[in-house]
Structure formats: C-alpha cells, structure tokens
Structure 1
C-alpha cells in the first residue's frame, strides 16, 4: 500500500510540475549584460573585447568617451547599462552610441548612426530591440554602396559583396529564457577568418521573484521563546514526578 501511495504522489507531483512550470528553464535570479562593440581579429586588425561593459548584478552604467580600436572608430560616448530587481524577478540592459565607423581595410567601410539596443525581462520572458538610425556600407568602385535599413525587423539579413553578411536587430533566446539582442552583427567571409563584429549588444533574463523572509517582532519572539521554555520545563518535571511515583513490584 505504501509503495502505491509513494508512486501516486510522485506522479501527481510530476503532473503539477508540468502544468505549473515555466515555458523555459528559468534562471534562479535575474541577470543582464551589455556592451557596445566587440570584434574578432581579421586582416591584420586586432580583436576588440566587449567594450564598454555592464553586468547585473550589480548593474550600473559604464561609459567610454571616444574609441579607436581594431576596426572601430568614434568620437562619441559609448554607454552600456544594466539593472535588475530580485524581488520582482526582472532585469534590463541597453547599449548605445550616436555614431560609429567600421573599417574593413581595402574591402570597404561602414558608417552607422543612432545605434541602440535594449532588453527587458520578467519572470515570464524577455523582449528587446536593436536599432540604427542610418547605416551605409561603402565598397570599392565600381560596387555601389549598401544601405542598411533603419529600425529593421528582427533578424534582417543583408549580404555585403566581398565582405560577408550583416544581421540587423539580431535576436536569439537560450534555454534559460535569456534574450540576446545585437543591433548590428557582421559575419565576415572565410577569407577574413569568418570574423564576427558585434555592435550594440544587450541581453537579459528574468527569474521567479525572490520570496521575502518575514520579520519576527522581537517582543513576540521573546514571549514565544519563554512559553516554549516553560512548556519544556513542565514536561521534564512531570516525567520526573511520574517516575518517582511509579510502584515498585514486591519481591516474591
């Protein structure tokens, strides 16, 4: 009978878990990460690690005024921001820069403005967007320039002759429900090491809200403790009294 009860309990628990569980493997606490640019090394140009970065926890804003590294150049301020709240299970991230130049060496160059990526997450999932106000890839003559769409739909892919492909407003979600957004993602041709150049990265994931620990009133705790102590002493006294009053059997 006990075996059947345990098996039935396990089945019921499995059913409840499958019904009540989230649609994805939720994080245990909210998280977020953001950076403005990163690049693999290619064509003699050095790699650029994620720059500047912000991570939640603890969150906050990181800025960098001007940049000239690898293929990237700008005089504007690069800003990465993250935030979160464990009590609500939410997080957010953003990455912005007003203008940015990208140098592909003899293969061409790109000019981007109004770069902005955002991500907002709750315990139920995450949403975000990666946008540019304008973008142009200039190629060697006689190839015409390639215009990049402003406010493009998610995962808009464009082929760039001689360079590779670029995805605008790139969005992917992992098994934990963490959404990653790239405003611009260049993937270069194999001849250029298949290098990845990411501009405007924001990622975030929500989690179940933290359960608050109730505070116990000091006076109530003191009174409760005294009551428990008195009850314990009473039990000890009764046991000793009953033991002393026990009737000893007469010797035969």
Structure 2
C-alpha cells in the first residue's frame, strides 16, 4: 500500500510540475523575430558583370545581434563609411527592435550622383503592433535634396517626370505576409541605358512581437498548487502512519 501511494504521488507530482510549467509558458513557443542589414545591391551595368552584393553586415534576433563593417565599396556604384546593424528581442516583454545605420554614402547611378551624411532605418514591434521610421541626414542626389524625416514610402523621381531614370523610395515600409514590417531607409531603382536594378541602404525588419513570458500565474498556478496539495497530503499521512506502526510495534 505504501509503495502504491508513493508511485501515485510521483505520477501526480509530475502532473503538478507540468501544470506549473504550462502556467509559465507563453501562448506561442515561437518568439518574435527581427533582422537588419546595411547595404544590398542587385544591378546590371552596361559593359560590366552583374553586381549582386549583400545583404552586408546582417544581424538577427537569434544572433549575431549586432554587426559592423568599417566601409562598403561597390565599384562605380557606391562607397560608404562605418555601417552597423542591430536586432534585439526582449524575451520578458516580447518586444523586438532592429536598426541599421550607414555613414558617409557616395552614390553614382544612371548617370547621376549624390552624397548622404547618414542613413538610418528603425523598426519596433510591441504588443500594440509594428512601427518604423527612417532618418536621412545631409542627403542629395541628382541635384535634389532628400528630406531628413521622410513620410513612409516617399518617392523621388530623377529626373522629375513620368519616366524617371532613377527612382528613390525613402522610408519604404512593407508589411510582409508573416505580419512583420520591413523598413528600407532608401530603396533605389534604376532603369537606364547605363544600369538597371536595385540598391537598398539601411534595412530593418521586425515583428510581430512575441508573447511576453510571465511567471507561473492564473489558472496554471492554482492547478499546480492544488495537485501538489493532493500529493503532499496523502503521502504525508502514509509516512506518519508508517512511523506510528514502527513505534507501536
């Protein structure tokens, strides 16, 4: 009888532990993801080989969470100074943050040129949803000034008109099928006799946020405590009864 009670206590104890663990787990085991990179290019230049570069300095919430390159050089297209990316996740809150930053950009595309002091993309995912923004400091291209804080999906045509040679989408924001948000600070599309293709400078993706991970609480906690009580009381009585039998015997 004593062995039977101990075995029953062990089984119920495992069930109690499982209930406590279940009470502590989030609703979903898959956490929110975030990623970022500094530059990518997919171009065809007349008289030259195809250019397929990047994503450079990639980071991800699953690691590495930060990345850095001292400079980027794509001959006849782009040069930069320091470029960094970061993607982090707070497992306690489920919040995801990603960002990319590229300094001292010099561009030559489609017969036009320009320079930018700093290009940054930011993306945040919280329980309230996803949000993003971009910052462009001291930027010009094709003789046009680039806004410092462009609204989402601002398009600049160079030259201005219905058939631009180069099109710049600033603070490009794309909602992906999986619910994540991608923010490209600058997405350049070129279609000319000299070149065709795409260049992205500073890209950040995040979300959706992961469920927060609470301490064991609510129904799971009470079920666990109840099961632990169900184990402790009969096993305790069995041990006491066994000791009394030994003493009186």
If the length of structure 2 is used for normalisation, what is the TM-score?
0.68
Q: Alignment length, in residue pairs?
A: 197
Distance 1:54 1:228 in 2: 54
Segment of structure 1 superposing worse, 199-208 or 167-176? 167-176
Which of residues 170, 177, 180 in structure 2 aligns to 1:178? 180
Distance 2:234 2:108 in 1: 75
Distance 2:40 2:184 in 1: 11
1:56 has 2:54 as partner: no
- SS of 1:132's equivalent in the other structure is strand
If the length of structure 1 is used for normalisation, what is the TM-score?
0.67
Runs of 5+ consecutive residues of structure 2 not aligned to the other structure: 1-27, 222-226, 240-249
Match of 2:210 in 1: 207
Match of 2:146 in 1: 148
Distance verdict in 2 for CA 1:59–1:211, change over 3 Å: farther
Distance 2:193 2:129 in 1: 39
Distance verdict in 2 for CA 1:157–1:27, change over 3 Å: farther
Per-residue deviation, 1:192: 6.4
Which of residues 70, 80, 83 in structure 2 aligns to 1:78? 83
Match of 1:123 in 2: 127
Cα RMSD, aligned residues only: 3.2
Distance 1:188 1:27 in 2: 42
Q: Which has the larger radius of gyration?
A: 1
Give matches, 1:1-252, under 5 Å.
28-43=30-45, 44=48, 46-70=51-75, 71-74=77-80, 76-104=81-109, 107-138=111-142, 145-161=143-159, 163-189=165-191, 194-205=196-207, 206-212=209-215, 227=233
Per-residue deviation, 1:212: 4.3
Indicate if the aligned counterparts of 1:27 and 1:176 stay in contact, CA closer than 8 A: no
Q: Which runs of 4+ in 1 moved over 4 A?
A: 190-194, 211-214, 221-233
Distance 1:171 1:27 in 2: 27
Distance 2:82 2:131 in 1: 25
What whole-Å deviation, never above 9, does each CA across 1:101-124 have from its counterpart, x for those lacking one? 12226x122211121111111122
Higher relative contact order (CA 8 A, sep 6+): 2
Runs of 5+ consecutive residues of structure 1 not aligned to the other structure: 1-25, 139-144, 234-252
- SS of 1:40's equivalent in the other structure is strand
Indicate if the aligned counterparts of 1:135 and 1:149 stay in contact, CA closer than 8 A: yes
